[in-house]
Structure 1
Amino acid sequence: MTRAVFLAHTAAPSGAELATLRLLSALRDRPGAPFEVELLVTEDGPMVERVRARGIPVTVQRNTFDSRSMTIADSGAGGLLAGGVALLKLGWTLGGVLRERRADVLVAESTKALLMGAVAAGRARIPLVWQVHDLVSREYFGRVLAVVVRLLGWLLARGVIANSRATLGSLFTWRRAAVVAYPGVEPVTAPDDDRAPQRAPRDTVVAVVGRLCPWKGQDVLLRALAAARHRPRTVYIVGGTFFGEESYRDELVALSDELALPVEFVGHVEDPTAYMRAADIFVHCSVLAEPFGQVVVEGMQAGCAVIAARAGGPLEIIRPGVDGFLVDGGDAAALARILDQLIADPELRTRLAGSARIRAREFGIDATAAAVAEVLTAVTAGSARRSAVS
């Protein structure tokens, strides 16, 4: 049985970490070809207990540096160099942990995990796979750093797992095992008929779910609602701030008050499904291209009529006019027009929501686990052949 260790630099409950939790469970429970899976994380946080609650082993090897030192904006070139050295030292320590755990393959869950994972995997003499949750583009990394990260990924990892075709297209994968494995959703436990039917226009409920930060575009939604002819009864803004962006929430509150919108700021919740199932319309309004957009699939699975930004992953999820609508990110006027159309037409919402539920089944966690298992098996088999030759 293959023992796969997943390495993460954070234990905050954001989208990538939640996707990893679902993947670990599915890999462990695969019929016929299960994996022994573990999580190795370099800081404590809410995800540690959530993973352990599913019976998956977790090792916390705390870092000795502030991860913010890894950005030039926060600490300058000197701080970046110091943080890089500390990252490599931590990688060496992690390599010892991997040897003790008798790991067969290491999966790095972020760019920082890739760097320290390369050292760790080298010390443990096991292959390294990079699971990429972000578009490696200049919009996210800057022009020069994006190229550097692509090169490092190609040089350091023997395999790549991308969360969308868009993400895979932003990487260098020549002569590397590579696969698209969408962040799969788990089956819903509530029956379909447990959901209320689409409401009348005056009673419509709109929801948006995601971390509150400028690039997620919650302010665009508020401006679109203010410009729309039809206003919903309630707007749920579900999500918290995790990375020093609390001021953005204050700006959103002030904007909703200024525009006199019926907004309820829910904050971070462990499971936002109840809010999605209580909504008629789900809006994803990122102003940057989303690497995948698993929350879009979750909104479809919950039976909402979905609007998503027309870039990145959502282009691979939604078929416009069939199971949702797409709108250019940041275009409040276009978003207002689609909101007007949906709010005024409950029958259209019902048709889109029904198709969306069917479409969401194509992004199940079992398919994700099968794709990931294929790459992990390929790189471990290649590593075994090289060891036999040497």
Structure 2
Amino acid sequence: MSNDETTAAARSQAAAALAAYDEQQRDQAARQGRPIGRMSNRFHGPIKHAREQPNGRRSSVTVSEPAAVVWLEGRRLLIDTGDGGRALRGDDPMLVEHDPYCPNRIVFANRASFARTMTRLDGQPRARFAFVQSLGLSTMYPILTDLLTHLWWLPQGRDETKLNQWAQAFNVQADRPTTIRRLFGEFAYDETPTFSMVSALARAEAWGMAAGQWRSLSASCAAFKNAEQYTDLVEAITALDRQLAERNVIARSTNIIDIGSARARDDDGRLTLRRASVEEGIFSHKLRSRLLLNPLDPNSGAHCRSSLEKVDVAADESIHLLLGENRRLREGRYLVAKEPFTGGMNRSTARWSDRTQPGRVRRDVPLDVALAGAPSGE
């Protein structure tokens, strides 16, 4: 069997194991008669943005509660901003007006309501929401049913794409906008998100939307780069989730390592390194990689960073590591994921409008030079 065939077989086995694991969790939720937690981390928490003021300065703005909720009632697309529902039009200010530093957080009930909203938009608003759609799991414009599916296992026999199925499972019975706000606030939102990467998610999404509205090569590259970094951040947050540890090991998206008390020195004798051994998962990180480590024991502190300095494979095929020292690292078992690179996220690449386009540059030159360069008239 070739390497490609071996890899394909391994992926097929992992996919089958994941499907079986998910079915088992949903069966357990059905026995309990209530959804059970899938992830302990939340992608949606208070997010700080730097809003640009008219005087050129920036002030910090925190986005928490949804600015609006959108849902379908039969064939009618409705929006509620807290003052009663109204029909959603394509030129609604909530959709058209956009602040790249602090966009409105709008919660869509399900994919159908998001898709119907897309049909109402054109031009730049449509391009911004098309970027959001490409992410799959938005921070600022979440689709509630997708978000709940990512965070909870719904009891077997219920449809994850139906909002009323989630409302019944959580015993939330109210009018539609109140139901959406309660499901988001009580089961998808966290006042104290575990990872600071949540703010990085919001920045990548906001800047990607701002870049995605322009049709130029540089803007398309900026939007693609932000979408790529957004995906890397989501994968890192998911891989480091304690509650998903067993599933992530099956999916081969994380490792569990055991860090002992022993220390070592690098080849130059300058740096102190921590010794660790790989317990679970296929270790595929490269030397000098920047790693994120999250302790499996929540009482052992928060996640921290380290670097992979050395990898040794023993005769019994066990893998031993040397990690860069970090004062937050303690003895114990950790989840490991590659640290996403967020330092190069691009802001919008906006075109000049007629009002902002710079004027023609003029230079004062000697008269004889100006006459020499003038048209001859022939």
Answer yes or no: same fold by TM over 0.5: no
Greater Rg by CA: 2
The structure with more helix, counted as a fraction of residues: 1
